[in-house]
Structure 1
Amino acid sequence: FEMQREMTFSGRIAEYNAEVVLPSGETTNKNVIRIGGFNAVADGKYLNWDLEASRLVELDKQPGGRYTGPVSELESASGTQLTGFWVDPSRGQLLKIMGQSPELGDRVDQGGVVGYIILVLGAIGVLLAVWRMIVLYSEGNKIKSQMKSETPNENNALGRVMAVFNANKNADTETLELHLGEAIAAEIPRLTRAIGWIKIISVVAPLLGLLGTVTGMIDVFETMSLFGTGDPKLMAGGISQALVTTVLGLVAAIPCVFLHTLTNNRSRELMMILEERATGILARQAEQQHSKAA
């Protein structure tokens, strides 16, 4: 009968006031929700039952937001409303283990100085790529508008090339070709500005990650030489920290490679338009001179 009654109560959700020991050591009265004999929560945080002190204790480190989110939903539920909730059948042991697993911020901190340098470089590369894409697409729209007009507008690359043609319209074909080539060469640095830096960042970031991994592995082997290999957790933790920089390097390099390809292809498209228009201008100029000579 007692076993049956315990099984029945293990499926009930109870709400009551109880004293809770905070991680700071203070004791406060909170509204506690108990889910059977598995979990107890209060103020969106998981609690654990201390057998020795016979008191509820708030976990020093809560598990990730994926697990603490349903706690708030459970506390705000009313009546027969159903809500999902994570149940710990080990009565607190799994929650403690999950609380010890590092989160995203902890992983980044494990990368150390090298990891932060990689993230800064990755952010710079992405910002440069976004800036260049905006500039190049704006320049492309101006060039498309210029292609529909015979009047050169010097707010775009094609307009400046056409202005050079108008200034040297009476020159011979060879001289005009040199002037147009010079005008296109002057536009190339404007179209390819900062694209090379994106490529450099995409190459340097994984190398920095490898550097951080190698230095981290050196620390692991030094620890093994001092304390031996009797504690696998010590070695696993050190190796995990060493590999974080490699992950950060790849995270920074992959988007930079992709964005470098986009910006480089866009700048090449614009340069091809300039060369194509310049070739057309030269062809028309040569035909006009040939017809005059005939």
Structure 2
Amino acid sequence: MMFFIDFYSAIQDFVETGGQVLLVIGILIFIMWLMILERIFYYSRGHQSEKRRVLDTWQQRADKSSWNAEQIRQAMISRVTLALGGRLPVLQALVALCPLLGLMGTVTGMIEVFDVMAVAGTGNARSMAAGVSKATIPTMAGMVGALSGVFATTWLQRTAKRERLKLEDRMLMEHH
């Protein structure tokens, strides 16, 4: 229990050091990673059952070589592709938003530095340092969130494309 209290205290100190923008970045990264984990779970569980269902439906068809059959095959593949791609555009938008929020934190931190300089002059280095840390910590958090999100969304996109191609190949093999 003491660990959680210490952990919460450390997080609270970190957010106070980085400012309110850091809290928004943290919430954004949390939501982004929930969506990434949902996609990973879907790829490992939901997609496999959907792929089996589509392949079973395709195998039960008597006609697999007519123009109509080709259109049905394309429609089945398109539905699976849409389910695979699900929330990837939203994820990409969240990834792009992370460094922008970090930049906003930088600007608000620098405004605080300039405010301290205007009130206390350049001699109060301790107050200026607090503003500089408020400017750099959100930038770092935004970049870390964006980098982790870029790697994850790239992997998800490649996995979705690979799964689509595997499904197309399996359905074409059933065709011939």
Q: Assess same fold via TM > 0.5.
A: yes
The one of 147, 163, 167 equivalent to 2:57 is: 163
Contact map agreement 1:114 1:212 (CA 8 A) in 2: yes
Counterpart in 2 of 1:59? none
Equivalent-residue separation in structure 2 for 1:183 and 1:103 (angstroms): 50
Q: Note if 1:130 corresponds to 2:37.
A: yes
Q: Which residue of 2 aligns with 1:263?
A: 156
**Does residue 194 of the first structure (1) align with residue 76 of the second (2)?**
no
Distance (whole Å) between structure 2 residues aligned to residue 214 and residue 280 of structure 1: 57
Consecutive unaligned residues in structure 1, runs of 5 or more: 1-64, 66-101, 143-154, 285-294
Does structure 2 conserve the Cα–Cα contact (< 8 Å) formed by 1:118 and 1:209? yes
Say whether 1:116 aligns with 2:9: no
What corresponds to 1:254 in structure 2?
147
Q: Is the Cα contact below 8 Å between 2:18 and 2:133 reproduced in 1?
A: no
Asked if 2 retains the 8 angstrom alpha-carbon contact of 1:220 and 1:239, the reply is: yes
Kept in 2: contact 1:126–1:255 (CA 8 A):
no
Query: Normalising to structure 1: TM-score of the pair?
Result: 0.52
1:276 alignment partner in structure 2: 169
Q: Is the 1:216–1:238 Cα contact (8 Å) retained in structure 2? A: yes
Q: Is the 8 A contact 1:165 1:176 kept in 2?
A: no
Higher RCO, 1 vs 2 (CA within 8 Å, ≥6 residues apart) = 2
Q: Is 1:223 paired with 2:116?
A: yes
What's the CA shift for 1:172?
Answer: 4.9
Aligned to 1:184: 77
Please give the alpha-carbon distance, in whole angstroms, between the structure 2 residues aligned to 1:171 and 1:163: 11
- TM-score for the superposition, normalised by structure 2: 0.83
Tell me the amino acid that sits aligned with residue 137 of structure 1.
Answer: S
Q: Distance in 2 between matches of 1:187 and 1:198?
A: 19
Write the deviation string for residues 3-50 of structure 1: whole angstroms up to 9, x where unpaired.
xxxxxxxxxxxxxxxxxxxxxxxxxxxxxxxxxxxxxxxxxxxxxxxx
Tell me the CA shift for residue 280 of structure 1.
Answer: 2.4
Q: CA RMSD in A?
A: 2.3
Whole-Å separation in 2 of the counterparts to 1:113 and 1:252: 16
Choose from 125, 134, 138 the match for 1:232.
Answer: 125
Distance (Å, rounded) in 2 between the aligned partners of 1:203 and 1:257: 9
Distance 1:132 1:274 in 2: 18
Task: Write the mapping of 1:21-40 to structure 2, written as runs, cut at 5 A.
Answer: none
Q: Residues of 2 paired with 1:173 and 1:191: CA distance?
A: 27
- Partner letter of residue 269 of structure 1? R
Q: What is the alpha-carbon distance in structure 2 between the residues aligned to residue 221 and residue 265 of structure 1?
A: 46
**Deviation per CA, 1:207-265, whole angstroms, max 9, x where unpaired?**
10111111221221122122211222221221111211112212322222222122222
Deviations 1:161-212 (A, max 9, x none): 4414634x33653222111101111111211112222222211111101111
**Secondary structure in 2 matching 1:239:** helix
Distance change >3 Å, CA 255–CA 179, structure 1 → 2: same
1: CA distance, partners of 2:71 / 2:59: 11
Computing the radius of gyration over CA atoms, which structure comes out larger, 1 or 2? Answer: 1
Counterparts of 1:172 and 1:267 in 2: how far apart (Å)?
A: 26
Q: Would you say 1:106 and 2:18 are equivalent positions?
A: no
The structure with more helix, counted as a fraction of residues: 2
Q: 1:104, CA displacement in angstroms? A: 5.1
